[in-house]
Amino acid sequence: MGIIKTNPFTSRLEQFQWNNSNGFVDIQDSIYLWNPLVSANTYNSMWYGDSFMLPMIDSLRVLRTNIGVNFVAMGENAYSGLGLLSIKPEGSSTTQKEEEYNLVSQRMVPATTNILMKDPDLTRFDNIDYKPEVDSFINMNESLVKYCAATLGMPHAMFYDESASNRATMIGKIQLAIATTINPMREWINRSISPQSYDKWFRIMNYKDEKLLKKFRVIMKFDDLNIAEWFDKVEAVNEIDGRKQLSDAEYGKLMGLINYPGMVETDAETMPGGNSKNSMDIGGGNKLQLKKPKERIQEKSNL
């Protein structure tokens, strides 16, 4: 895209250049999205925005070189080893010695058996152990990846996370990032795209009904990915259910189970959930303990 045209009085976007061609596209005939989250305010880059790639470019270049060049060299040398072949030349003049060196070095084939027609007393081979700091190198690269993820304002748990102590920690990190980073971005996207699509279409279709247009607007509602499975929510939902029994529809909604009311029998016995809600004091120091579902199933199977 090329330059934009804005209204000189309102500064609103009116047209933008498409594919650097001469023609302009009206903003009414498009859905235009720019990135205001990292825009360069000093240079007045409204309607243009800026890239999320910018802060991570240096680390990406280092990573690319490390993976494409340094890791390869390190792997080759660490695996096959480095050697130094010293030869005492037999020629008398400097030219003859140089020719001898060149001949040997040209005919040597790396990573295979070589036969050298030379007196062993005149040659020496030394192994070179340069002790590469492979672990430190890997750590450095990992920190670069973490840095890249951090520039997006997200924990690297969103992509991979070996450091998370357990599943709950990882889910907690992701949920925190969704609340702090992803949801504000969704708000920006909704405010940009919805007036150009859903809300615009709604106003076109109901242009005669002014009362309706003044009452409502249409927004975009994003559905989260299923990060926490239903079994992650059982305990919490049962606690709510234990306080006062939920309907099947609401229980399924809280658990994230599709068509839960259709899964259960309508006249089935209900069981209050929660840790402390399955027993009640009936006076005289006696307690009525409700059976847990597992015990009930066990009883049925014994019968």
Partner 1 sequence: MNKKKKEYTIHEIAKYIIRYPQFTDSQIALKFKINRTKVWRARQLTKHVKFSKKKEKGQSVISWEGFDGIKEEVVNPNTKRKEYRVAIAAGPITGKRTKFEPLLFGGVSDYDEDIINHWKPYMHLVVNDEKNGAPLSAAEITYRRNTKQRWYPRYFSNPAQSLDYITFEAHSRSTIGGPLLRSMVKFIVGRGFKPELELINPGEDSVENQKEIDSHDDIIRDLIQIENQLSFDKDGYLDISFQDKIASLILNAITFNRSALLCRYDEPITIDGKHYGTFQVPSHTPLQGKWEL
What sign results for the dihedral spanned by CA atoms 154, 158, 163, 166? positive
- Site size toward partner 1 (CB under 8 A) is 75
Q: Please select the residue that binds partner 1; options are 15, 35, 175, 278, rule is CB under 8 A.
A: 35
Q: Which range in 84-92, 204-212, 277-285, 289-297 contacts partner 1 by CB under 8 A?
A: 204-212
Q: Which of the stretches 152-160, 243-251, 257-265, 277-285 binds partner 1 when contact is defined by CB under 8 A?
A: 152-160
Closest CA to 186 of 227, 224, 229, 226: 224
The residue assigned the tokens 């019968």 is: 303
Among 72, 189, 257, 264, binds partner 1 (CB under 8 A): 189
Cα distances from 239 to residues 125, 156, 226, 254, 259, in angstroms, run 74, 32, 21, 12, 21
CB of 128 to partner 1, least distance (A): 30
Sketch the per residue contact string, 59 through 88, with partner 1: x for CB under 8 A, - otherwise: -xx-xx------------------------
54 lies in the site for partner 1, by CB under 8 A: yes
CB of 188 to partner 1, least distance (A): 10
Exactly one of 7, 9, 10, 42 binds partner 1 (CB under 8 A); which one? 42
**Minimum gap (Å) between residue 262 Cβ and partner 1:** 20
Q: Toward partner 1, which CB reaches closer, 158 or 254? A: 158
CA 175 to chain centre: 13
The whole-angstrom separation of Cα 173 and Cα 107 is 58
157 lies in the binding site for partner 1 (CB under 8 A): no
**Considering beta carbons, is residue 41 or 286 the nearer one to partner 1?**
41
For partner 1, the closer of residues 195 and 242 by Cβ is 195
In sequence order, the 6+-apart residues with CB closer than 8 A to the CB of 67 are 141
Among 137, 202, 230, 260, binds partner 1 (CB under 8 A): 202
The residue (of 9 and 79) whose beta carbon lies closer to partner 1 is 9
Applying the rule CB under 8 A, the residues between 215 and 254 that interact with partner 1 are 215-226
Interatomic CA distance for residues 53 and 60, integer angstroms: 9
Please select the residue that binds partner 1; options are 158, 171, 240, 271, rule is CB under 8 A.
158
Helix axis angle for 230-243 and 167-177, nearest 10°, is 80
Q: Return the residues of window 110-149 that contact partner 1 according to CB under 8 A.
A: 145, 148-149
Residues 6+ apart with CB under 8 A from 89: 96, 97, 100, 101
Q: Which residues of 87-104 are buried (b: 16+ CB within 10 A; e: fewer)?
A: beeeeeeeeeeeebeeeb
